[in-house]
């Protein structure tokens, strides 16, 4: 398997299966001298972890990170930061029923085809548990760029959409409810909807929106590594993501140039921001905003046909403790990947 | 500037400004022994080039590629393929009016901020002319993977959408009209709409859809380099792209798991394909399909305010010969980037 | 700090300071299905570890590796192999005297200059303890390529040289003595010399030679990534290395073409092998052999002037338990780096 | 073929066969705003080109570089610099005799084995003609770092060695003679020796030494990408190189620590410099110096046995115009690769 690293200068490499000894990773390229706020890292970990509220999976995983290197007397030393997140709640027997079975819309089948066999315990490497390592790397990236503010939030759950423009939202409300939707009224409806879905033994998708403020002009490289192209890849690499759009996005494709162009103010800011804070792949200092679509979790508590590795169709009922809706826990992951992308381009931009 | 390379094993690096001596690139990692069909390369170049029909820019650029290395007696040798596309139609004086002015929603301003100055002739490196090199690299990638069929087409122009599912389209009709929409009735409406827009001196966005058939199981790497994440980055790196979705995409975020899961047939294919041919980042052998949103071209033939580099707002009227709608010419670029991504993962997959 | 990864497809990333919690690393790209011989890994670890004989440092570090991922039921799964080597013998107070002092010919000074400060405990990241992680990655690389035989051995210690051509050596004798010199008579003289040097409180350099047999034709990429260029980089990246030569090496620079050319046998092998098994950067199937020069360890048990961070020259006497001669313990490190290089090129070569 | 790129941030990718249309390359990552001295580039090209003196090959290749992008009004723009060097002196018929024959100690055999066939005209990609592109990239790297002075020179030809320490040499004499040895007496003897060798139809190896002055403290990354490890790889990637040593080199392996350690002056410089300007992989501000061993050119004007692709041994006599000794023309190539390495680490170092 290739592709377990992300970034060029702020480079994150992760390892770990959902039911192995531990997850973890290495952050190579973090600059020296950053006084780390370990509590802030734990806060982001807690926002991602299972069992945090009634509308997410009830698995108990403490998800505590242990730093093994690259930090001395509380500060980054510039050397690689190695860290592990022990797996403390492995119940491998929960997964024995999928050893020879391919669950619909999971990676089981393609792993067996590609690698010849797989660690069938709980999704192995394809488990979203891998994203815990991303949250660690993202939390440190945020501290590298203290002036940049990244606000991710849930903007839709299934058919329920928050239509309010982000400029009218109060981001301080994001953490006020378990859905992580800053509009409390919408949040309540979404929460109710998720509870219903869970009762049905079903799951539902959603959208995470993200707004990034105070980005300096000049981040991003103009051809293949455009800022929005890396953000898109970063988001699409998160489990269950099906789409990414920034600025005007898909709705921009319906517009005319005379409507879509962002006219300048004398100071270089723009009157409108359909560009989404990026022009030609480079940040222009305006807010960056984008939306990330998540499909419904594939494991449902209903009986569905699966395929076994002999080619037989067999009914299977989901077991274990799974999320009825992934977006509330995806919010810190979206933020983490955004922070990693920005940290990388920030370092690249220092070379000019 | 970093970021002028794409791919790990089938690695494409490009160079060139719109009004310099030449564009070009190097393809490193193309396997030896591929008998090249040069005519097929020219066909893709012709599909991208300006002046090909009445609804695209009327610039005359022959866009002929000259191969300088890596090919012997018509076959790839395994050594890097260097190529150039001379710029024959440079009218630098066309662009003198933008030397000190930042056009709205162009990269002029951010280039000056990032690099201190810029080659102001015609957009320089930020010009979509760079994509000519991608088309060359993509055309060779297609020939590396002759069994895989990549069909891109225009599925919307501004507010006009082709709603027909791709399974009901006749891809052989894509090239039957200048819009590159396989549904001839929709194509005619779209063409008419683009003509109107051009008469208004305006521009309009659109969507390119792409369907990839006969992909073997196993392409893609499961964590950061998921197949759809690289496809997304590849598409988002194309000029003017604002969004990417694959399979069920954004609409999948509204669905329930019980609706969205793709149930297996005994042979490992699936009854539905909301997954879009990719599970856990790895191709599963079903059709891959995705949509790419393009914003309207920023240069319009109307008067709009621009900013000069002294901080003054000045009215500016677009000059030159620009596309009223970019999607017809974007079709071969989308195909090219898809082919490059697949070629790269095909080679990576050979290492298992 | 960048540069903590090595390799393209068999990619090793390491972390860890000599006196932190743990060292460790991630091996990304190891193919699936390799049945690991964990004992063989421990054997290589034991060959590198301190305290193994009377002529190496007497520090006690068990250097036991814990695998955290990428292995299931004893076989590699194809997913990244994460591992840690806990630091169990940290005596940070041993190093308090170097907190504000730059030892001669150590990295203390340049670290402080480059990063602004350093983890001063025992060399931190610049400690050769980092190579323990390389030995783990190399031991697995060896198992990936079971037909290739890598034999490293000590061929000189200070002024004492083993002049015997490698073809006349019995590699099975390498481990028969603590010097790791396959000629027992030379080994005894070298061992005696090292004991003397240690009594003087001094250290001495040496040379490790390496012979690689059964390499398939075709490993190596011909321009910048020539097989011997990567081997050279790999060896020069080991602590204390000052030189690398392969095949005829520096002595080849004194020869004539008529003497140096290796004439063919009808089967493609060559009558002589001054090329050292590599032509044009690509293995030709003959034995690969090279020599690696190590300087004497900088920490000596004599009093020498050091520099403090206020610019004062101060006498300093080495403390702690250091190697009088590094080459016996360097043997498994040379093998490990050679194995990593070969594993990487083996995978790259599969893409043709 | 992989491996046609060198560097991380100052990244050079080359293409081209000796008898194709052109050689060339792309420099990605060169910072914007460097006023280029094109004459200085041509001077380095002229130092490498054939036919420059009586002791090198008499082929006539003008080796003129054409820049196609990345430069505007004489200054680098920050965008990739594409360039070509047309092949004007292709005499493919000169090489028809090697179409089916493998010359001893050339890459012919391994290319056919690895790629299935080869461009047999003049060595194809394995020709040292590829290094012309490196000289272009190195000449620009030198201009990026105007304070750093790189002096390469010939220090031995076959058995004739210049023993004078570099500190006593007058580098301004390097270009005073066709051998490029700064000691005129040694130069005359070397030149005479090369003339004799050529009369014999033979060739001879040699050593290029290189001294780099005014390097700032802090270049180099401490683990795998040590400054000397990258320099070593860079040099070993040059055609015909068999060995690399820096600072005390192989002779350092014979020394004691008490002799080898470089004691500090109060200002951080050292009294001696056996370290060769690098400690722990990082430049310490002292002179960097290293030696590069070149084997004799394999093509000799005597009759030697070759192997044909049917497995027959056939006598072959070298044809064409080849160098009797490669080191005089290797001097600018060594400088170029050194400059590329330093430029890359200079940019990486800016990220701290």
Give the distance from residue D220's alpha carbon to the nearest chain B alpha carbon, in angstroms: 20
For the ranges A195-209, B25-39, B311-325, D196-210, the lowest mean pLDDT is seen at B311-325
Q: What is the pLDDT of residues A252-311, one digit of tens each?
A: 999 999 999 999 999 999 999 999 999 999 999 999 999 999 999 999 999 999 999 899
CB D133 within 8 A of CB D66: no
Residue D18, chain C, CB below 8 Å: the answer is: no
Of D7, D33, D264, D16, the closest CA to residue D138 belongs to D7
Residues in chain A within 8 Å Cβ distance of C16: 68-69, 80, 82
Confidence of residue D249 (pLDDT cuts 50, 70, 90): very high
Is B299 a known ligand-binding residue?
yes
Give the distance from residue B282's alpha carbon to the nearest chain A alpha carbon, in angstroms: 6
Q: To which residue do tokens 């020869």 refer? A: C255
Q: What is the pLDDT of residues C38-92, one digit of tens each?
A: 999 999 999 999 889 888 888 777 789 999 999 999 999 999 999 999 998 666 5
Question: pTM of the predicted model, to two decimals?
Answer: 0.97
Confidence of residue C93 (pLDDT cuts 50, 70, 90): low
CB C2 within 8 A of CB A28: yes
Is A321 a known ligand-binding residue?
yes
A113/B217 touch (CB, cutoff 8 Å), yes or no: yes
Q: What is the mean pLDDT of residues B337-347?
A: 98
Q: Which of B78, B222, B351 sits opposite C9 (nearest CB)?
A: B351
DSSP annotation string for A19-49:
TSSEEEEEEE-PPTT-B--HHHHHHHHHHHS
Kindly report the backbone phi and psi dihedral angles of residue A168, in degrees, each rounded to the nearest multiple of 5, phi listed first. -95, 5
CB D123 within 8 A of CB D111: no
Structural element, H or E, at residue D47: helix D38-48
Residue A99 CA to residue A308 CA, distance in Å, equals: 9
D348/A351 touch (CB, cutoff 8 Å), yes or no: yes
Q: Which of B294, B296, B313 sits opposite A264 (nearest CB)?
A: B313
**Nearest chain D alpha carbon to B24:** D82
**Nearest chain B alpha carbon to A252:** B295
Here the contacts of B164-168 (C-beta below 8 Å, separation 24 or greater) are: B166/B209, B166/B211, B166/B287, B166/B289
| Residue C97 scores a pLDDT above 90 | no
For CA atoms B85, B91, B92, B98, the dihedral sign is negative
Q: To which residue do tokens 């810029």 refer? A: B118
Residue B297, chain A, CB below 8 Å: the answer is: yes
Confidence of residue D90 (pLDDT cuts 50, 70, 90): low
B352/C78 touch (CB, cutoff 8 Å), yes or no: yes
Q: What end-to-end distance do the CA atoms of chain D give, in Å?
A: 34
Per the structure, the count of domains in chain A is 1
Q: What is the pLDDT of residues D126-144, one digit of tens each?
A: 999 999 999 999 999 999 9
Q: What local confidence, expressed as pLDDT, does residue A333 receive? A: 98
A298/B260 touch (CB, cutoff 8 Å), yes or no: yes
Confidence of residue B93 (pLDDT cuts 50, 70, 90): low
Give the distance from residue C98's alpha carbon to the nearest chain B alpha carbon, in angstroms: 40
Q: What tokens appear for D329 in the block?
A: 């023309």
Residue B1 CA to residue A349 CA, distance in Å, equals: 9
**Nearest chain C alpha carbon to D232:** C233
Domain membership of residue C231 as a residue range = 5-349
More confident residue, C96 or D298: D298
DSSP annotation string for B30-93:
PPTT-B--HHHHHHHHHHHSTTSSTTS---------EE-SSEETTEE-SS-EEEEEE-----GG
Q: What tokens appear for B187 in the block?
A: 């194509």
Q: What local confidence, expressed as pLDDT, does residue B2 receive? A: 87
ipTM above 0.90, yes or no: yes
**Nearest chain B alpha carbon to A1:** B221
Give the distance from residue C333's alpha carbon to the nearest chain D alpha carbon, in angstroms: 13
Residues in chain B within 8 Å Cβ distance of D77: 17, 115, 117-119, 124-125
Confidence of residue D57 (pLDDT cuts 50, 70, 90): confident
Confidence of residue B89 (pLDDT cuts 50, 70, 90): low
Confidence of residue C223 (pLDDT cuts 50, 70, 90): very high
Q: What local confidence, expressed as pLDDT, does residue B100 receive? A: 87
Could you give the 3-state DSSP secondary structure of residue A296? coil
How many B/C residue pairs have CB atoms within 8 Å? 25
Residue B231 CA to residue B236 CA, distance in Å, equals: 9
More confident residue, C88 or D343: D343
**Nearest chain A alpha carbon to B308:** A266
Of C1, B101, B202, B49, the closest CA to residue D226 belongs to C1
Q: What is the mean pLDDT of residues D197-201?
A: 95
Mutate to test the interface with B, among D31, D69, D126 (most CBs of B within 10 A): D69
Residue C29, chain A, CB below 8 Å: the answer is: yes
Q: What is the mean pLDDT of residues D219-234?
A: 97
Kindly report the backbone phi and psi dihedral angles of residue D270, in degrees, each rounded to the nearest multiple of 5, phi listed first. -120, 150
D125/B5 touch (CB, cutoff 8 Å), yes or no: no
More confident residue, C100 or B5: B5
B114/A266 touch (CB, cutoff 8 Å), yes or no: no
Q: What tokens appear for C315 in the block?
A: 């006498």
Q: Which residues contact D39 (CB under 8 A, 6 or more apart)?
A: none
Q: What local confidence, expressed as pLDDT, does residue D97 receive? A: 75
Q: What local confidence, expressed as pLDDT, does residue A93 receive? A: 61
Give the distance from residue A112's alpha carbon to the nearest chain B alpha carbon, in angstroms: 9
The helix-helix angle for B38-48 and B131-144 (nearest 10°) equals 140
Q: Which residues of chain A have pLDDT under 70?
A: 89-94
Q: Which of B8, B9, B352 sits opposite C31 (nearest CB)?
A: B352
CB B69 within 8 A of CB D86: no
How many A/C residue pairs have CB atoms within 8 Å? 169
Structural element, H or E, at residue A258: helix A257-260
Residue C187 CA to residue C156 CA, distance in Å, equals: 9
Residue A273 CA to residue A275 CA, distance in Å, equals: 5
| Residue D33 scores a pLDDT above 90 | yes
Could you give the 3-state DSSP secondary structure of residue D50? coil
Q: What is the mean pLDDT of chain C?
A: 94
Question: What percentage of chain D carries pLDDT values higher than 90?
Answer: 86
β-partners of residue A316 are A304
Q: What local confidence, expressed as pLDDT, does residue D350 receive? A: 94
Mutate to test the interface with B, among A10, A25, A27, A105 (most CBs of B within 10 A): A105
Q: Which of D9, D79, D222 sits opposite A351 (nearest CB)?
A: D9
Could you give the 3-state DSSP secondary structure of residue D319? coil
Q: What local confidence, expressed as pLDDT, does residue B92 receive? A: 55
| Residue B95 scores a pLDDT above 80 | no
Q: Which residues contact A73 (CB under 8 A, 6 or more apart)?
A: none
Mutate to test the interface with D, among A8, A28, A219, A352 (most CBs of D within 10 A): A352
Q: What is the pLDDT of residues A43-63, one digit of tens each?
A: 999 999 988 888 888 877 778
For the ranges B209-223, D81-95, D260-274, the lowest mean pLDDT is seen at D81-95
Q: What local confidence, expressed as pLDDT, does residue A251 receive? A: 98
The DSSP letter of residue D265 is P
Residue A19 CA to residue D237 CA, distance in Å, equals: 44
Q: Which of C200, C223, C247 sits opposite D237 (nearest CB)?
A: C223
**B 169-228 residues inside an 8 A Cβ radius of A:** 197, 200, 202-207, 217-218, 221-226, 228
Residues in chain C within 8 Å Cβ distance of B348: 9, 351
CATH number for the domain harbouring residue A51: 3.60.150.10
Residue C256, chain B, CB below 8 Å: the answer is: no
Q: What local confidence, expressed as pLDDT, does residue C57 receive? A: 85
Residue C234 to residues A34, B84, B192, C125, C217: CA-CA distances in angstroms?
Answer: 31, 36, 63, 17, 21
Q: What local confidence, expressed as pLDDT, does residue A59 receive? A: 79
């Amino acid at each position: 398997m290739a592709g377990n690293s992300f970034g060029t200068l702020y480079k994150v490499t992760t390892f770990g299966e959902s039911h192995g000894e531990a997850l973890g990773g290495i952050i190579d390229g973090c600059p020296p001298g950053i006084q780390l706020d370990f509590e802030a890292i734990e806060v982001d970990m807690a926002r991602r972890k299972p069992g945090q509220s009634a509308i997410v999976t009830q698995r108990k995983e403490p998800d505590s990170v242990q730093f093994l290197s690259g930090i001395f007397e509380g500060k980054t030393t510039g050397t690689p930061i190695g860290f592990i997140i022990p797996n403390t709640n492995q119940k491998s027997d929960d997964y024995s029923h999928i050893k020879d079975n391919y669950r619909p819309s999971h990676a089981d089948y393609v792993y067996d085809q590609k690698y010849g066999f797989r660690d069938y315990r709980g999704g192995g490497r394809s488990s979203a548990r891998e994203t815990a390592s991303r949250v660690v790397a993202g939390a440190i990236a945020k501290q590298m760029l203290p002036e940049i503010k990244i606000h991710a939030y849930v903007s839709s759950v299934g058919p329920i959409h928050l239509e309010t423009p982000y400029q009218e939202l109060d981001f301080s409300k994001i953490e006020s409810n378990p859905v992580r939707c800053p509009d409390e009224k919408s949040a309540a409806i979404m929460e109710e909807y998720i509870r219903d879905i869970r009762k049905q033994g079903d799951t539902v998708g959603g959208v995470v929106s993200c707004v990034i403020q105070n980005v300096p002009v000049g981040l991003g490289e103009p051809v293949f590594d455009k800022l929005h192209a890396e953000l898109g890849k970063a988001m699409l690499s998160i489990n269950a993501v099906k789409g990414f759009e920034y600025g005007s996005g898909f709705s921009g494709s319906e517009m005319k140039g005379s409507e879509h162009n962002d006219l300048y103010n004398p100071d270089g800011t723009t009157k409108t921001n359909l560009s989404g804070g990026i022009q030609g792949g480079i940040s222009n200092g305006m807010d960056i905003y984008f939306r990330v679509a998540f499909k419904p979790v594939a494991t449902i508590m209903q009986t569905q046909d699966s395929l076994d590795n002999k080619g037989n169709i067999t009914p299977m009922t989901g077991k274990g403790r799974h999320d009825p809706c992934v977006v509330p826990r995806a919010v810190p992951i979206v933020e983490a990947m955004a922070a990693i992308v920005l940290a990388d381009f920030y370092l690249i931009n220092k070379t000019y």
